[in-house]
Structure 1
Amino acid sequence: MKRLLAAVTVLSTAGVLAAAPPASAALTTYCVGTGGAVTVPNDLYVPAGESCALTGTIVTGNVSVAAGANLVVTGGRFAGDVRIAGNGYFDASDTTVAGPVVLAAGGYGVFLKDAASGAVTVRAKGTTTVDSFLFVEGSSVTGSVNVQAGEVRLDAGSEVSGNVSSTGTYYTDVHDSFVDGTLSVLNSATGSVVCGSSVRGKATFAGNLGGVQLGPNGPLDSCASGGFFGKDVSVTSTTGGVTVDDNIIDGALTATGNTPVAQIAANNRIRRGVVTDPPAAAAARSAARPAAPRTDDTSKADERRADAVQEATAAGAADL
């Protein structure tokens, strides 16, 4: 069987690893292939273009996923942070990451399912050609989520202890989740949907091109229920349609400068009133192209995960 984990101190016996470990690492374990319930007593590194699949593995240091590499972990525990390079992929299920998770510019994506992590950052795409994604399902993030590219979806009872900040993404959707801080979605190409969720801080949506839907009965998604917003909610300068339905807003709702004008249902409970456009301004923006129905799903993660596990299995398991 091919080697999975080879420490830098014995790298000469492995014979197949061309990529260098992070410069700051005093001792780094390489991962190529599959691994089980062992403890890695230092940093872990997945070399460029390689795949690593772990089950029940404990890593006491930091984790680095190099360019084009894949790391899929189930039932693991990482004591440090996870950093993913361009076109790299990190997939964690039933896993705890004590430190932050950072996806570099042009990183392929991060998928967290029934997992826990520190703050999550997705860098702006920049000049790269890869469209990133962050899918969080039934997971908890201790800290903030800051995303500047690609597809973003928080779902299935996920919790964020800090703020969620999205700028320039393709879409940013929050379903059946809890945000303890603020929620900010700016300049999203296809807008934002928030359904069945709670946001304790201020919620700001501005400059989104594909519409904003807060609650059910909107054009973007067929979700079943509205949400709770603990502070003010502001939806401004949005095209493609704005719908606000079946929400509790423990503050004021501002819905101005949207094309077409926002549709605010009577069943919302808004504690501090609603600010809308004057009638003349509203009439001038009464028509616009309709928003396209949401087509977001996790197929990109499913495909990359399957390929990564297949590649790791083909590489073989080491004698750990």
Structure 2
Amino acid sequence: MKKVSVVTINFNQDKITEELLVSIAETNTYPELEVIVVDNGSTVNPVPLWTTKFPDVKFIRSETNEGFSGGNNIGIAQATGDYYFLVNNDTEFTPGLVQKLVEILDTHPQVGIISPKLVYDFDRSIIQYVGFTLVDYYTCRNRAVGKGEKDLGQYDNLLGQTGYCHGGAMMVKKETCEKAGLMADNFFIYYEEVDWGERINKSGYQAWVRGDATIYHKESMTVGKKSAFKEYFMNRNRILFIRRNAPAFKALVFYVYFVLLVVPRNIINYTKEKKYNFISILFRALWWNVANSKDSTKLGFTVNKVS
């Protein structure tokens, strides 16, 4: 039986993380499971208290906030499983979740990574994800299959290849990480799992989704629905993704599209919403990509507020 390492990241969301740990304890029946929590430089270190409260969980304290990609990489470095189940701390498990994903990785050698169906926690009848289309390099856009649909069981029989797995919950083989590498730390947050998915796809593995495996997701518990931080990294990393993955001609088309269409549209929207400070943040995101190499580890933004 393969061992599974669940890895999650906490940053100033102790209650939310504890709810996840309780849900794992209450629903999981898979025997070969270790749970790892990386505290990503929270203002108050929760690890001493948690060590007593959750004695079966492995806690790792990072004194600095390393973001989603860096935090997961810290957890993976200390994981002992054959499979790594990377989950957001604002998720909750359902019965049979781990077994259903393990079953596919065990029996399909071509599958390197798999996600369950993600359902919004605020209304557990609404689907967030049952797959992604591939990114269109011309626009750096893709689509989440099923997003916003009522869950009427229409995807319960869905099992197969998808463009990418969802960063909120993805189980990956150790051998996949050894061949494709880990997530690029310089994304920090947003687009890192899609960039990783591109490398996993190109390394010869497939990404799959299983529709009858479900996890509940309290989306945007950490960054909020719209923030300066989110606007910066969404724009910065959208460009960075294209720089790292798109062929030269498609990248050139994207740059023209972004400068002539996306930037003016965003400025108009920021003005309508009276979020005038977002305009300078947008240009900071653009400038970062002009001034830094695609592998630069400089973030260009203060990161003490978000995991």
Fold-level similarity (TM above 0.5):
no
Higher relative strand content:
1
- The structure whose RCO (Cα within 8 Å, separation 6+) is larger is 2
TM range, normalised to the smaller chain? Answer: under 0.3
Higher relative helix content:
2
Q: Normalising by structure 1, what TM-score?
A: 0.23
